[in-house]
């Protein structure tokens, strides 16, 4: 039986980089954002239902997240209907991942892990974090959003202090080598737990 580890953090905290470290060390990783891209892509499972709900959001056979965002801003009530389509499809994608993954440790990279109670299906959770100044610098360095947009996203997310308090483990992503050392130590801890559980 594989060990399920939920991985979360806030924008700019180094979650994707940490997920890659887990993958490099032999874990199978399920990425929630990548799964959304799959179901929204050409031939994706969400396309038929989205075509009915928001026809103008389907462009060249794929769902445009930008157009969806516009609709949600204009009509916030549509978000629930979108989530009613997307959440079951993501759950099915995750079930398929669990069924086909061959690694002994499965990592679930989910930005809203705690907000959506996704932690309930995990054997353990880990939150990645960094100080607020570094977080802001990283996001601004991407050049994809303004400070106001960043602050708006951060305001919607659960405070990192709360995520850290709820998680079983923490990884500070101040430096790549430090983050990797913490991931290696965590995997050792998990494997030890697995052996003890089997015993």
- For the record, the structure tokens of 165 come out as 């308090």
End-to-end CA distance of the chain: 14
- What pLDDT is attached to residue 76? 85
User: What global pTM score does this model have?
Assistant: 0.90
> What is the distance, to the nearest Å, from the Cα of residue 1 to the centroid of all Cα atoms in its chain?
23
- What pLDDT is attached to residue 153? 86
- What pLDDT is attached to residue 155? 85
- What pLDDT is attached to residue 197? 85
Spell out, as residue ranges, where the chain has pLDDT lower than 50.
none
Q: Where are the domains of the chain?
A: 3-194
- Rounded to whole angstroms, the Cα distance separating 60 from 197 reads 50
Question: Domain 3-194 falls in which CATH fold?
Answer: Rossmann fold (3.40.50)
Cβ(28)–Cβ(102) under 8 Å? yes
Q: What is the CA radius of gyration of the chain?
A: 18
């Amino acid at each position: 039986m594989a060990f399920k580890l939920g991985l979360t953090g806030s924008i700019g905290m180094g979650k994707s980089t940490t997920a890659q470290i887990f993958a490099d060390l032999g874990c199978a990783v399920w990425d929630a954002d990548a799964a959304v891209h799959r179901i929204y892509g050409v031939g994706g499972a969400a396309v038929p239902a989205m075509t009915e709900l928001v026809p103008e959001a389907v462009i060249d056979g794929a769902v445009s997240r930008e157009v969806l965002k516009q609709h949600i801003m204009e009509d916030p009530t549509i978000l629930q209907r979108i989530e009613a389509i997307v959440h079951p499809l993501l759950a099915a994608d995750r079930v398929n991942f669990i069924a086909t993954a061959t690694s002994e440790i499965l990592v679930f990279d989910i930005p809203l892990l705690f907000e959506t109670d996704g932690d309930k299906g995990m054997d353990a959770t880990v939150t990645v974090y960094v100080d607020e100044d570094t977080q802001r610098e990283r996001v601004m360095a991407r050049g994809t959003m303004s400070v106001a947009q960043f602050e708006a996203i951060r305001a919607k997310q659960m405070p990192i202090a709360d995520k850290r308090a709820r998680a079983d483990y923490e990884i500070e992503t101040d430096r790549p080598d430090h983050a990797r050392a913490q991931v290696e130590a965590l995997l050792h801890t998990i494997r030890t737990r697995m052996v003890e559980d089997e015993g």
